[in-house]
Structure 1
Amino acid sequence: MPATHVAVLGECVADAFATADAARGELTLRVLPGGGPANTAVALSRLGTSTRFLGRISRDTFGALFRAHLDASGVDLTGCATADEPSTLAVATLDESGQAVYSFYAEGSADWGWSPAELTPERIGEVACLHTGSLALVRAPGSGHVEELLGRTAAHATISIDPNVRATLVDPAVYRERMPVWCALADIVKLSDDDLEQIHPGEPLEKVCDTWHTEGARLIVVTRGPQGAIISLDGERATVPAPATDVVDTVGAGDSFTAGLLHRLHSSGRLGGRLDDLDLDQAKDAASFAARVAAFTCSVAGANPPWARDLDEQVSRPGAQGRA
């Protein structure tokens, strides 16, 4: 694989969407492949970035679903480990705005069992960027080994982190405690405004960003749903609007945004180091593209990010400019 690929490390999750049949007294679950890091890897590959996924994928039925989904999207799976533990299951309920609320069944599952012997530089390969986040960063016993790998990889590649706070599984105080460590390792921190509020409740965005810059992160991007995103590059800030779209649901939108951001930075030659040549206009361009990718994902059911051709067709349609 070329030295310019992007690696994504983290979990696969079976996203189960429930449909109740009161007359028959039963509940039907429709299971789709998900998990924040896996969604990001799929979106990156579909956009045209050479992508390797590092995950501990179970031998169970869900694991087979994950492998087929990632492979069909062109993701390189040679960095994955096959695990005997079961897959993580998340049962999703959609509210009136299409926002998903999850109940996780994650104890003893495959995703968190990384060992030092499994997390080797050889598994990553010669990367331009290593992205990780979500539960892989905070679930024992693997989380500490993931941080160690980030530290080794930061010497020669861009590091990207998305905390993707899951407060029902992990106390937000854990994220608050680890953020200084992650910012010292990361060049890019992307998170939602909800994540920010969970980690630093009531604190102004500008204050939190400046603290994280001081701790080491150069580029911080905070997504705000229909209000777009705020970019902070070494304390210099700008706002990017969200394209207009008819929202079906928001499942996978944040992961698609991350993929769009990394894809645009990668295709413009910005990844591979400490982002030393990145300026605010270039960061805005990457975030604007990411917003288009996220908006497209919101326009379809589930975590089903666009292929590059979908975005091309979207722009070419009459009246479609600026929409997703």
Structure 2
Amino acid sequence: MSPRQITVLGECVADAFTTPASSPDELGLRVLPGGGPANTAVALAHLGTPARLLARLSGDVFGRLFRARLEASGVDLSNAVAAAEPSTLAVAELDARGQATFSFHAQNTADWQWTAEELAGVDLSDTACVHTGSLALVRQPGAAAVEDFLAAAVPQATISIDPNVRPLLVDPAVYRSRLSHWCALADVLRLSGDDLDLLLPGTPPEQACDLWHAAGVRLVVITRGADGALASLDGERLHVPAVAIRVTDTVGAGDSFTAGLLHHLGTRGLLGGRLAELRLDDVAEACRFAAQVAALTCSVAGPNPPRHSELAQPAAARRG
């Protein structure tokens, strides 16, 4: 079955990675287009799902970089807003395991300035799923408009949320204060083990899943890097192991997992409502597929998700 469109709402971020410099008084940076929602939209398009990104794109050098990447990937930008504000910049440092730590330069940037008027004209009649999360849901002044857009989309589409907590930019308490509300809107909640630790410190994953189910969300998936993923469908659980891979870095891995999960569910015709037909076997298949997509993303530098044709190739054949 050909998957229906997935509409993604959220930020584009310039990811600047430190590189060796020729002298101790300078810093080299390699800039790649990123941002969790943008990465997810690109990954969906690479996999073959029609993907539309609702984004506010600056006209600056980074905004032009975002637009070029998204258009080259086949992401629909017909509802993107041409923004006057500058783009968001994140500087990433990688540790020996390829894990990234980010510092953000995001004051008054384009991504957070959504208005109700900018989102009011978005047609969701062809959309099976709306996915959002990360900073777009918590950064003001636009966060309230994004939440209202999600609430209006509930009767028409499956709702997917990835909190993607960024404690250096927004106090985790802000996420905690809104999470129950998001669970009441969402059908799918995908988050990382780090997100869990920040949202519910010291809470076992199974207990967290039950809390979020009670708040309204049917499917919770917690990704835990090399330890795989825990999925919970209305309290029925399963564990999916990670795919063994030589890791270059983990940037964009969670976004690729989300895209793989939603793509697989979409190709099975399971998106478009409240997941009423979803069964645990479907979740297991979707998570195994998503783990493969995430692993291939980790095999190259930066948020560079695989195309569907690459899934049958060994990871060593990929080039970032």
Structure 2 equivalent of residue 160 of structure 1: 160
Whole-Å Cα distance in 1 between the matches of residues 280 and 3 of structure 2? 26
The answer to whether the 8 Å contact 1:11/1:55 transfers is yes
Within the alignment, does 1:248 sit opposite 2:248 as a pair? yes
Whole-Å Cα distance in 2 between the matches of residues 265 and 3 of structure 1? 9
Secondary structure of 2:16's partner?
Answer: strand
Query: Shift of residue 113 of structure 1?
Result: 0.3
Task: Report the CA distance shift for 1:121/1:228 in structure 2 as closer, same or farther (over 3 A).
Answer: farther
Within the alignment, does 1:212 sit opposite 2:212 as a pair? yes
The answer to whether the 8 Å contact 1:158/1:274 transfers is yes
The answer to whether the 8 Å contact 2:112/2:140 transfers is yes
The answer to whether the 8 Å contact 1:253/1:294 transfers is yes
The answer to whether the 8 Å contact 2:3/2:266 transfers is no
Note the 1:176-255 alignment, pairs <5 A. 176-255=176-255
Whole-Å Cα distance in 1 between the matches of residues 242 and 24 of structure 2? 42
Structure 1 equivalent of residue 48 of structure 2: 48
Task: Report the CA distance shift for 1:123/1:60 in structure 2 as closer, same or farther (over 3 A).
Answer: farther
Structure 1 equivalent of residue 286 of structure 2: 286
Structure 1 equivalent of residue 94 of structure 2: 94
Secondary structure of 1:269's partner?
Answer: coil
CA RMSD of aligned residues (A): 1.5
Within the alignment, does 1:18 sit opposite 2:18 as a pair? yes
Secondary structure of 2:41's partner?
Answer: helix
Note the 1:58-73 alignment, pairs <5 A. 58-73=58-73
- Please report the TM-score for the alignment, with normalisation by the length of structure 1: 0.95
* Residue deviations 1:75-96 (CA, integer Å, cap 9, x gap): 0000210100000000000011
The answer to whether the 8 Å contact 2:89/2:106 transfers is yes
Whole-Å Cα distance in 1 between the matches of residues 296 and 115 of structure 2? 37
Query: Shift of residue 122 of structure 1?
Result: 2.3
Q: Which moved more, 1:302-311 or 1:117-126?
A: 117-126
The answer to whether the 8 Å contact 2:125/2:156 transfers is no
The answer to whether the 8 Å contact 1:52/1:124 transfers is no
The answer to whether the 8 Å contact 1:193/1:223 transfers is yes
Q: Which moved more, 1:118-127 or 1:27-36?
A: 118-127
Which letter maps to 1:14? A
The answer to whether the 8 Å contact 1:87/1:110 transfers is yes
Whole-Å Cα distance in 2 between the matches of residues 24 and 289 of structure 1? 44
Structure 1 equivalent of residue 118 of structure 2: 118
Whole-Å Cα distance in 1 between the matches of residues 266 and 141 of structure 2? 31
Secondary structure of 1:118's partner?
Answer: helix
Structure 2 equivalent of residue 132 of structure 1: 132
Whole-Å Cα distance in 2 between the matches of residues 35 and 87 of structure 1? 11
Secondary structure of 1:119's partner?
Answer: helix
Q: Show structure 1 runs of 5+ residues with no match.
A: 318-324
Aligned residues: 315
Query: Shift of residue 314 of structure 1?
Result: 3.6
Within the alignment, does 1:311 sit opposite 2:316 as a pair? no
Identity %: 60
Whole-Å Cα distance in 2 between the matches of residues 195 and 307 of structure 1? 27
Query: Shift of residue 123 of structure 1?
Result: 5.1
Whole-Å Cα distance in 1 between the matches of residues 63 and 207 of structure 2? 42
- Please report the TM-score for the alignment, with normalisation by the length of structure 2: 0.96
Query: Shift of residue 22 of structure 1?
Result: 6.1
* Residue deviations 1:106-143 (CA, integer Å, cap 9, x gap): 00000000001001252555310000000000000000
* Residue deviations 1:157-205 (CA, integer Å, cap 9, x gap): 1000000000001111111111100000000000001100100000111
Query: Shift of residue 19 of structure 1?
Result: 1.9
Whole-Å Cα distance in 2 between the matches of residues 116 and 3 of structure 1? 29
The answer to whether the 8 Å contact 2:184/2:217 transfers is yes
Secondary structure of 2:249's partner?
Answer: coil
Which letter maps to 2:281? D
The answer to whether the 8 Å contact 1:7/1:53 transfers is yes
Query: Shift of residue 206 of structure 1?
Result: 1.3
Which letter maps to 1:158? T
Which letter maps to 1:184? A
Query: Shift of residue 56 of structure 1?
Result: 0.3
Query: Shift of residue 29 of structure 1?
Result: 1.1
Whole-Å Cα distance in 1 between the matches of residues 268 and 106 of structure 2? 38
* Residue deviations 1:232-282 (CA, integer Å, cap 9, x gap): 000010000001100000000000000000000000100000000000010
